[in-house]
Amino acid sequence: MIAEIGLAALWLAAALAVLELLGGFLGARDENNELTALVRPAAVMQGVLCGVSFLALVYLFAVTDLSVKLVAANSHSMKPLAFKLSGAWANHEGSMLLWITVMALAGGLIAFIERRLPEKTMMATLGTQAFVGLGFYLFILLASNPFERLSPVPADGNGLNPLLQDMGVSFHPPTLYIGYVGLSVAFSFALGALLTRQVTPEFARVMRPWVLGSWIFLTIGITAGSYWAYYELGWGGWWFWDPVENASLMPWLAATALLHSASVLAARDALRTWTIMLGVVAFSMSMVGTFLVRSGILTSVHAFAVDPERGSFILALLALYIGGALVVFAMRANTIAEGQRFALLSREGALVVNNVALSAILGIVLLGTLYPLLTEAFDVRVSVGPPYFNPVSAIFFLPMLVVLAVGPLLRWRTDNFARIKWPVIAIGVASLVALAVVLVFFDTSVLSLLGMGLSIGVAVASFLPLKGRAIRRVPLAVWGMCIAHFGVALALFGVAADTAFQKERLVAVSPGDTVEVGPWEATLASVSPVAGPNWTAMQGDIFVSYQGGEQTETLPQARSFWAPPGETSEVALVTRWNGQLYVALGNMAEDGRWQLRLWWKPFVTWIWYGGLLIALGGCLALVGRVVSDLRRRKAEQREEAMRTEEAELASA
């Protein structure tokens, strides 16, 4: 029954999307059309219905209703409840339902609260949102129904891939999806503004919180995903340039660029066409990512289903939406009037460089990700990894950091170098000193060296915009920028330091043996079997101490799951402020010794602290912008009220 309710709600939502689509585009031509009044309610109801549908699926997973095919295929009665719940979206059908639910909720939210734009623009925006949503409704209802029943009912489910039985999974996909799909709103706003010729600073101000919100979720999602891969996959790496990781990085790069160009449009009424283009590109990258992950073209932890039919369906949607948006863009771009002019040396100029560099990195990542698919068409199998991505993206990333450091010091419209000479010298000196210290005392690669030097410079630079301001009066959005930029510096330092200084030991030891890795000593006390709810494991009991200090007990495990069968390595982590010790237990060698893999990773945690600071900066900026928008709106209303009052008085 619950499954049928979920499915019915989804069909109803799809029907409402048709209504919203029609009403939206008719309303965009003539706002007095009868259907116009129905558009906003239709959008809001869709959000509600999708929410019902998604909750129905979560409920089915919670009670392990094995008569539902998806539950039987992906869940197991013995699984802990938290993983039963997250199992609802750790599969193809469920994740697509999550996608459309987020999309419908976002659409409902803009329909409900957004009243600043001209009604025609809003109608075109909501119509576009419904048009995009409709494709995904059809995809779910026709090609990936999560509520399909199964007969006969099996005795128990197949269980969930052991790698996915982790708290990271409860958190990571919903966060990323909110980010991906939140960008659909930016896409719809961009097309709405383009179709009704309303590419104005007001449009940028309305779109910005949505971009910012999606970007925050993407940032958190990528950071969490990176940490999850780091401790769960047991390889000690935090970024693999895996196609699926790239699929989340590409929308983030586009959203970062969009965020900055929308700021230019909102503040200075420049970069109009470019902002629209980025709005289209950002969500297109979300869809490309979904296509890569969901089509089965790639096989990895993330590719749940290998199904060419679904792949072609998503590819068709992709072609329709991206192609359609680009056609509209090509036809309308020349009707957008030139924005305000600015000098090369100005805040706008710096943001243009930032945007171009981000776009270039996006292109590089996209090409590298798609290249194996291209060569496969010629029957040549290749894989593209760090030797390509690291140096090639660094060529654009390092100059971008310089601009990131200097840009916020510049004034809008035009500036002269003499004014910012001293801060720039300070940043340069900080970078060079750091560079010299690393160069003299350590032997590192060029990229790590530059990374460390620049990260110090950026760290200093990130707080320079506060100089000369009354600290209490600094707007929240400026604090947000400073903190986010500092987060970039922190993450970069973590990346460079970990790459340059990490120490690795791989040994086979008997109980009682001690190994050294960097400043750490590790002693294996024993290895014993342990059992969990749906796994058994060998657990090492290892005492570690930093520079001969106090001993800490660590308990890494090699786990074996039985439903479905599989093995994972549960690593033990010892975190200090200046890095992390990473202990993985391997197999027993023939002579009874145990394999241990130990890493000392200096400053590695700074990568994720940096990521979180970037997200925190985004949150501050978002709160600051929304609060000041509300204030402005209130002031306008008060003025309006006063004017009406005066008019009434005058007429009396």
Partner 1 sequence: MMSGLKPKHQRLVLVVVALVALVGAGLLAALALRDQASYFYVPADIAADPPAPGQAIRLGGMVENGSITTAADGVTVQFVVQDGQARVPVSYSGIVPSLFVEGSGVVAEGSMNANGVFIADNLLAKHDENYMPRELEGMTSAELREELQETVE
Residues in contact with partner 1 by the rule CB under 8 A: 161, 163, 234-235, 243, 274, 298-300, 303, 338, 341-345, 349, 352, 355-357, 359-361, 363-364, 367-368, 371-372, 375, 380-385, 387-388, 391-392, 395-396, 413-414, 506-508, 560, 565-567, 569, 584, 586-587, 589-591, 593, 595, 597
Residue number with CB closer to partner 1 (175 or 273): 273
Residue closer to partner 1 (CB basis): 57 or 410: 410
Min CB(623)–partner 1 separation in Å:
32
* Residue 297 DSSP class: S
| Closest distance to partner 1 from the beta carbon of 268 (Å) | 13
| C-beta closer to partner 1: residue 321 or 594 | 594
User: Whose CA is closest to 384, among 394, 399, 396, 374?
Assistant: 374
Distance of closest approach, residue 52 Cβ to partner 1, in angstroms: 35
How far is CA 351 from each of CA 5, 207, 481, rounded to the nearest angstrom? Answer: 49, 18, 13
Shortest separation between residue 383's beta carbon and partner 1, angstroms: 5
Residue 593 C-beta: closest distance to partner 1, Å: 5
Closer to partner 1 by Cβ: residue 154 or 372: 372
Least spacing, CB of residue 165 vs partner 1, in Å? 13
Q: How far is the CB of 392 from partner 1 (least distance, A)?
A: 5
What lies within 8 Å, CB to CB, of 645 at 6+ separation is: none
CA distance 500 to 497: 5
Closer residue to partner 1, CB minimum distance, 374 or 641: 374
If you ran DSSP here, which 8-state letter would residue 149 be given?
Answer: B
Q: How far is CA 407 from CA 351, 478, 482, 510, in A?
A: 7, 13, 12, 57
Residue whose tokens read 């197949």: 158
Calculate the alpha carbon distances from 508 to 34, 45, 61, 555 in Å.
77, 61, 42, 17
Residues 371-396 as b or e (16 or more Cβ within 10 Å = b): ebeeeeeeeeeeebeeebbbebbbeb
From CA 321, how far away is CA 285, in angstroms rounded? 11
Q: Looking at beta carbons only, is 386 or 549 nearer to partner 1?
A: 386
What is the C-alpha separation between 501 and 445, in angstroms, rounded? 10
Is the CB of 379 or the CB of 443 nearer to partner 1?
379
Beta bridge partners of 531: 536
Nearer to partner 1, 81 or 589 (CB): 589
Min CB(389)–partner 1 separation in Å:
9
What is the sign, positive or negative, of the torsion defined by CA atoms of 30, 31, 36, 37? negative
Candidates 336, 371, 362, 168; CA nearest to 265 is 336
Strands 551-554 and 572-576: what pairing? Answer: unpaired
Residue 599: exposure state from Cβ atoms within 10 A (0-12, 13-18, ≥19)? buried
Tokens 């590790």 belong to 522
Angle, in degrees to the nearest 10, between helices 386-406 and 421-441: 140
For partner 1, the closer CB: 46 or 256: 256
The phi, psi pair for 507, rounded to 5°, reads: -140, 165
Q: Which C-beta is closer to partner 1: that of 63 or that of 382?
A: 382
The smaller minimum CB distance to partner 1, of residues 51 and 566, is found at 566
409 secondary structure, DSSP code: G
Q: What does residue 81 show for φ and ψ, rounded to 5 degrees? A: -60, -40
CB-wise, 139 or 594, nearer to partner 1?
594
Q: Least distance to partner 1 from the beta carbon of 298, Å?
A: 6
Q: Which helix (H) or strand (E) holds 583?
A: strand 579-588
Sign of CA dihedral 573, 161, 294, 109: negative
Least distance (Å) from partner 1 to the CB of residue 364? 5
**Residue 480 beta carbon to partner 1: minimum distance, rounded to whole angstroms:** 27
